Structure 1
């Protein structure tokens, strides 16, 4: 990835906190969810931040670089377009899969609606490396990829998280976006040693760092991005900063946004954690005369580390094996098929509930009229629908399918609410010709007739 660009202290930009971010001192840069901005119609608040000289980094969530399929050209083009529109020095994505099925498995394509972990195996690493090279070739700026938080782990891992990330960076030159909150999550949920992971990382590949909050329930840590950053996460940030000066550190918050004063306190805590790590690094330099080699663990799981992803003859079988494993897991999570062998069934149930809840929350955001129309019944009705209807497209299509299901099954019985749902569906389904064009009238009449059953 080359020399890391110094970013400083940043915050995840969300429309709900645009005014807070605009008035917050000491913010050097922001990160935006790439899929939530339109290159031709950037939010005015974001444009003003750019005019003030703040760096804006697009952060993608839908490529699925850890999936068995090659990255979708359309999604890559959209991410590239956002990078250029924002004048970004880099773009970031996740080491995760978000969909499975399709041609490689001769099964229906399923969408997770969220980030799911990839197995730490040679097959998965080969495919991930190949996918990242495709993405790097398509993007106009360098790419960095993020370690994710996981509620469950794959059986039969062949590498630790640090070894997996080391080889990934070594083989592709991709930058690493290290989320210390996700390291903490995986420590609680899977027993991974976060200090060992940091010791195994190629810190010269570090692009920047994420920090976020979460909560623990019944021994499982949920990476909510809706809670204050806990002390163990700040301690991990200090550990990382004792090994290398992070080019940038960013606070993520997606829901339950606090007041500006609370944001300021959290950012102060982050700066103090980085400063504490810097003091430890300086102390070590004084003792050793130079920066000590903190990466003392050899992160090679096997002697033979030749990149099989470079050999086309080996790549496709690896893709197919990975595709079968991923569709089996995702189908169990969203379609109720039997759990794959050796997975922790209790964790599968927790992950399945989390995915359904995430779908309900995002549909409520992209179609806020639905919880308004249904009131307290919305979440119960949506979760019941989700049990038998896996998501096969985007969230807007999912919202339409949910309403169609309600109307087809005579729900709800309240005539006023049903009328509102019907009108909502009619306004958003099918093509959208000009409102007063004869084609528009015909399309509306046809859809109305279909719904009067």
Structure 2
């Protein structure tokens, strides 16, 4: 299937929707798939589509790197969004986002964010099998993204470039290369971005992400809330010297600057691509995925392989969100950094999906939520998490009383339909 080159794009977010519509030179936009409702697309997206602007859905919750087979309902929902947006392709991540369940005889835990898979043969077998399942369920080509990592798995058997090369060779999947994530892994894990680019199959690149971050205490956080640093633009130029990227997109998820600043960043991205010699226009013929019979290891993998991967991932996630011991071989300091980052991300997303909570609780919201998160791992989605958080505050009487308690209780009742019971007080013998 021949696709037009995507060109230069920006991540569409409600906070900058009006600005994106007015920006010159925007060829396409990317939307978080889970934040769109097929039957109720925002008017801004409708207008962009009517102008011929391509819209690509970007999934964050499939967990293709997880030990379990991809959830059929999640795949169906992603396919529905592809159809509603008229998208030419769809993207997801090389990551796991949950662990546990029947495969490991342990509770299902949600990370609330993307976690790296180990670059091992077992993990690659699981990832390849899951991607083939997703490819069969989706109506358009799938591209998968390399992620940023704060932690490294012990005993890895491949570099990132080798891992991605084998993944493409075995599945025919396209790649979404995030150059900001390559920079993050350079700072946090000592990995060479140029080496990764030299090893991966650049002809399989569907498009490229560019984003900013921030360094704190020697750790680079892929925040998507800060300007794109020169080091990330340098990696983009290196990539463009190897292949003309079919599309390049600026991601920004928070602390949105004025539109003029976003336009300047887009100009810097175009300049970096041009400096590498890439960015040619014209039709793009994505590589056709090989037939199943031609792909080694495409058959369903052994349950034992999934179980080995599942047990390892469950141990890591339980350590990060439930306070169990750090698995052997992991850096304890980095695991602590990752655990705090997951809790902070969880607090931020809950504040976005339930903005009434920080409004009701005021300055006490963040500390109260982080204390709650330390006691209670997330086992459902963020909306469920918001309700559980409010219910716990009400049960334990930790609302500050007065008007705050009444407002929080009214908010909770409106969404849940029943009153949380107060925890019984223990009487002294």
Equivalent residue number for residue 325 of structure 2: 338
Equivalent residue number for residue 128 of structure 1: 127
**Contact (CA 8 Å) 1:95, 1:148: kept in 2 or not?**
yes
Deviations 1:310-367 (A, max 9, x none): 344x431110000000000000000000000010000000000000000000000011
Output the CA distance in 1 between the equivalents of 2:297 and 2:34: 28
**Contact (CA 8 Å) 2:171, 2:298: kept in 1 or not?**
no
Equivalent residue number for residue 86 of structure 1: 85
Equivalent residue number for residue 222 of structure 2: 223
Do residues 354 (structure 1) and 330 (structure 2) align? no
Partner SS state of residue 144, structure 1: strand
Equivalent runs, 1:240-255 vs 2, <5 Å: 240-255=239-254
Equivalent residue number for residue 410 of structure 1: 397
Output the CA distance in 2 between the equivalents of 1:33 and 1:350: 26
Do residues 310 (structure 1) and 309 (structure 2) align? no
Partner SS state of residue 411, structure 1: coil
Partner SS state of residue 40, structure 1: coil
Deviations 1:244-298 (A, max 9, x none): 00000000000000101101110000000000000799xxxxxxxxxxxxxxxxx
**1:208 Cα deviation after fit:** 0.2
Equivalent of residue 371 in structure 1, options 349, 358, 363: 358
Partner SS state of residue 155, structure 2: coil
**Contact (CA 8 Å) 1:126, 1:315: kept in 2 or not?**
no
Output the CA distance in 2 between the equivalents of 1:309 and 1:321: 17
**1:4 Cα deviation after fit:** 5.9
Partner SS state of residue 310, structure 1: coil
Equivalent residue number for residue 375 of structure 2: 388
Do residues 76 (structure 1) and 75 (structure 2) align? yes
Deviations 1:349-402 (A, max 9, x none): 000000000000000001111000100000000000000100000000000000
Equivalent residue number for residue 274 of structure 2: 275
Deviations 1:217-237 (A, max 9, x none): 111100000000000000000
Residues 307/323 of structure 1: CA separation in 2 closer, same or farther (3 Å cut): farther
**1:203 Cα deviation after fit:** 1.0
Output the CA distance in 1 between the equivalents of 2:329 and 2:354: 38
Do residues 58 (structure 1) and 57 (structure 2) align? yes
Output the CA distance in 2 between the equivalents of 1:235 and 1:317: 43
Deviations 1:53-104 (A, max 9, x none): 0000000000000000000000000000000000000000000000000010
Do residues 173 (structure 1) and 161 (structure 2) align? no
- TM-score normalised according to structure 2 size: 0.93
Output the CA distance in 2 between the equivalents of 1:420 and 1:227: 35
Segments of 5+ residues of structure 1 without an aligned counterpart are: 282-305, 431-446
The total of aligned residue pairs comes to: 411
Output the CA distance in 2 between the equivalents of 1:390 and 1:452: 20
Equivalent residue number for residue 398 of structure 1: 385
Residues 44/170 of structure 1: CA separation in 2 closer, same or farther (3 Å cut): same
**Contact (CA 8 Å) 1:127, 1:309: kept in 2 or not?**
no
Deviations 1:395-424 (A, max 9, x none): 000000001110111112322111111111
Segments of 5+ residues of structure 2 without an aligned counterpart are: 281-293, 425-429
Q: Which has the larger radius of gyration?
A: 1
Do residues 201 (structure 1) and 189 (structure 2) align? no
**Contact (CA 8 Å) 1:308, 1:315: kept in 2 or not?**
no
Residues 223/21 of structure 1: CA separation in 2 closer, same or farther (3 Å cut): same
Partner SS state of residue 143, structure 2: strand
**Contact (CA 8 Å) 1:213, 1:227: kept in 2 or not?**
yes
Equivalent residue number for residue 183 of structure 2: 184
Output the CA distance in 1 between the equivalents of 2:297 and 2:60: 23
Equivalent runs, 1:13-162 vs 2, <5 Å: 13-162=12-161
Partner SS state of residue 115, structure 1: strand
**Contact (CA 8 Å) 2:244, 2:278: kept in 1 or not?**
no
Q: Which one is further off, 4-13 or 148-157?
A: 4-13
- TM-score normalised according to structure 1 size: 0.88
Residues 4/162 of structure 1: CA separation in 2 closer, same or farther (3 Å cut): farther
Residues 421/146 of structure 1: CA separation in 2 closer, same or farther (3 Å cut): same
Residues 203/279 of structure 1: CA separation in 2 closer, same or farther (3 Å cut): closer
Partner SS state of residue 316, structure 2: helix
Equivalent residue number for residue 284 of structure 2: none
